[in-house]
Structure 1
């Protein structure tokens, strides 16, 4: 092979990045993927703060992988062996000769702790030290999203009448974000939260206006990522992910803050995608799998087919007994994933992986299987039944399920193949009712990998923990491909040219 002798542009030092309330690292992944024309990273994470211990382990694993990609542009082969094993042997991977240095760096980067007034002296010391080590006392970027349960419409609905709700500390966790801004003065910050923040109130006042006033007093101008101008209205901060190549209708408030007096270039805006990306495009190429029938001692193909045949019969479809049965259980590396065309495929797929990880259906009760099969088949027929429309034999045996005013009438929802999905949230860890696979043949809820693809986590991104913890992490993240686009806007503010390739 001929050596490429094309001269490369000189590369500037990476811009330090600190990630707070990091979750499993969605914002971090997007920003860290950006490289310049010389192939060097534009941002480098110097500290990540997260409370959830499983998410911390995920962050450490990804940080170690990123360490080697900065050096060799590829992850070590031992990492792919770990993925091919379905994630077994993490302790051995941490001390493997190919990965030990990366994990040592990750241990100093990822901080597993709660941010709050009591821990502020410790977190301030960690931030101070990290910035000093990387020369970023002035030009650096703070990213993160304070926990959003207190602001979300669903959270407020579930806790209506709860006398402790007004005192929930999550209402004011943004104050920890604010404290970092006031003390360490990053040039730019990016803060993400739920759309419900715009209408949430606390102690008699509007949360969003209070946050906006506090940020202005701290010395920051707010900009919108989607609307140009210097005085955005509250609705201008809402980013609708499906407009930017994300296969998910995720609507979030994302603030871009710029420190007063900086000489940074004016912020640009995100460029809308030419066409929406659908559920089918994102997950349609993954291997077909079937759910186990719960409890596991009842599982059998006969029992599973009986549930599907009944569901299809009720839905008005025949032929269940002749339909193919997906392979049972996991599809780690036994079948390759299908191609995804375009930017999303370039982002998600990894040829070295050779298949998919975390693609295993959870077990479902027979009645839930029947509901999933029925509703998926109805979706194929262009119908979207709600709770009150279910046939009697499929109505859940809940106290209020048959009430005229039953809450959450869309508690069972099929993700439609030809559209972007609904928002993937952490509740997916509780049950799969809101995330029914569109293929009636499979009759199940989404796997962790399918949820991760809708969130645009690359296929080689591994979530540490049991399946419940994995779902929880996926639902708590910012879509990394959207985060990359946010990072491009911020990079241009610093005068950095972004290459189309990724780290």
Structure 2
């Protein structure tokens, strides 16, 4: 029988996807989701769709035709849920996914939902996973609110207490708590927030009696330092330099059981995961300027400024689309994890619009990156420099405002800011001259190609950036499954 999982602050389901993907040698799921709790309406729609998909696949053993039609845009989400093979699984997904903004005011509601779902799961041991919102702890979030007197009262500082409340009331066998690395240095009301959280989690006085373990450092819990809880995703086969604090909590009656740490994996590069996707071009903003010839003129200017050969006019890539014909050339574990052999195309591979000036900057900087350089804004020639007074200063506060992802190494951290602009996520191919698509960002996060994010493109980017890489979550789930026997 599979172990129930309660997923809180669930986002679009990265942790959940990793745990749900684990099966025993007989093909049975090791973990099953009892409930996912999330406040964002679009993330909830994504969670519901994924839960429906899992239900369908459990029955059919493959990706069923109605879901392929949805991915390809041949049917709407409404009609997909109405399909006779789907509607029963969709109703179950409605029970599994609950839109609740966790907090003191909604605590009675969330407690009631968790109690009900655990009863329905048959009792027994279960696992809590999730990460309270990180804006109050992240370095970027704190820097934006320097001097803001209301920052100390931001409720996001103490949302971890909702996580603690669930642990104290329902006593999971194990919990996995994730947050940004900035949590280690974040202070609130005179103390470091990480040390306060860890002390609370280990405190019988709080009704909590758990041993907090590292997933990467094999030493006794009492000897762990705060930095020992940092997981560097690129060291574990994830194509992204994503560093997060993740704590493994083990209930006191289970602490005699040893737990593994995550094994090191070979480095996976940007090329390894997005290098085989169809080459596309972006549309040009404003719409009145959009044409293949106008796009090509921008590329020619960038190539000339970079000292590169003139691009061929007839080599302009096609526009991306909701669905593009595609067969993957990825091999090995990545192919097993990302690629769905039932699909004859790729979804969500459409670039956002860019102004001609940004197209030219992207192409020029990508040319420099291809020569092994990590270009900064001051590397742009005068014709392409942003219209800022201090753009050429070496100490300019936005020196890395334009960042090209390098083919030969893992990407930089994919964060929710990708929803606002693409300057930090420039595609490494200057012949494409654009920022990353939703699917490319999702692959860097290790979401399978059949994972569909609901909402418009901005909402999709936001969900991808807020997630835990599912393949990393699967590796964490293996540690938890082994600990629970």
TM-score by length of 2: 0.96
Find the partner of 2:232 among 220, 237, 240. 240
Return the alpha-carbon distance in structure 2 between the equivalents of residues 145 and 376 of structure 1.
35
Once the two structures are TM-superposed, the CA of residue 322 in structure 1 deviates from its matched residue by 4.9
Once the two structures are TM-superposed, the CA of residue 396 in structure 1 deviates from its matched residue by 1.4
Q: Relative contact order (C-alpha < 8 Å, sep 6+): which is higher?
A: 1
1:47-196 residue pairs with structure 2 within 5 A?
47-85=35-73, 89-136=76-123, 138-196=124-182
Return the alpha-carbon distance in structure 2 between the equivalents of residues 404 and 242 of structure 1.
29
Once the two structures are TM-superposed, the CA of residue 42 in structure 1 deviates from its matched residue by 0.5
Return the alpha-carbon distance in structure 2 between the equivalents of residues 343 and 230 of structure 1.
32
1:287–1:331 Cα contact (<8 Å) kept: no
Once the two structures are TM-superposed, the CA of residue 264 in structure 1 deviates from its matched residue by 6.7
Find the partner of 2:321 among 325, 330, 339. 330
Match of 2:188 in 1: 202
1:364-383 residue pairs with structure 2 within 5 A?
364-383=354-373
Return the alpha-carbon distance in structure 2 between the equivalents of residues 44 and 60 of structure 1.
14
Count the aligned residue pairs: 479
2:286–2:355 Cα contact (<8 Å) kept: yes
Match of 2:261 in 1: 269
Return the alpha-carbon distance in structure 2 between the equivalents of residues 150 and 316 of structure 1.
45
For 1:51-87, what per-residue CA distance to the aligned partner results, in whole angstroms no more than 9, with x for missing partners?
A: 110000000000011112223322321011111117x
Match of 1:23 in 2: 11
Return the alpha-carbon distance in structure 2 between the equivalents of residues 406 and 234 of structure 1.
32
1:264–1:493 Cα contact (<8 Å) kept: no
1:26–1:477 Cα contact (<8 Å) kept: yes
Tell which deviates more after alignment, 294-303 or 174-183. Answer: 294-303
Return the alpha-carbon distance in structure 2 between the equivalents of residues 385 and 64 of structure 1.
44
Find the partner of 1:483 among 466, 469, 473. 473
Match status 1:41 vs 2:29? yes
Match of 1:294 in 2: 285
1:30–1:487 Cα contact (<8 Å) kept: yes
1:54–1:464 Cα contact (<8 Å) kept: yes
Tell which deviates more after alignment, 208-217 or 261-270. Answer: 261-270
Return the alpha-carbon distance in structure 2 between the equivalents of residues 395 and 162 of structure 1.
32
For 1:445-480, what per-residue CA distance to the aligned partner results, in whole angstroms no more than 9, with x for missing partners?
A: 000000000000000000000000000000000000
The structure-2 alpha-carbon separation of the partners of 1:463 and 1:264, relative to structure 1 and needing over 3 Å to count, comes to farther
Aligned-residue CA RMSD (Å): 1.4
TM-score by length of 1: 0.93
Query: Structure 1 regions of 5+ residues with no counterpart?
Result: 1-12, 496-503
Return the alpha-carbon distance in structure 2 between the equivalents of residues 384 and 263 of structure 1.
46
For 1:391-441, what per-residue CA distance to the aligned partner results, in whole angstroms no more than 9, with x for missing partners?
A: 122121246535554313111000000000000000000000000000010
Return the alpha-carbon distance in structure 1 between the equivalents of residues 458 and 429 of structure 2.
23
* Secondary structure of 1:332's aligned partner: strand
Once the two structures are TM-superposed, the CA of residue 323 in structure 1 deviates from its matched residue by 7.0
Match of 1:412 in 2: 402
What stretches of structure 1 move > 6 A for 4+ residues in a row? none
Return the alpha-carbon distance in structure 1 between the equivalents of residues 302 and 214 of structure 2.
47
* Secondary structure of 1:94's aligned partner: helix
Match of 1:465 in 2: 455
Query: Structure 2 regions of 5+ residues with no counterpart?
Result: none
Return the alpha-carbon distance in structure 1 between the equivalents of residues 358 and 232 of structure 2.
31
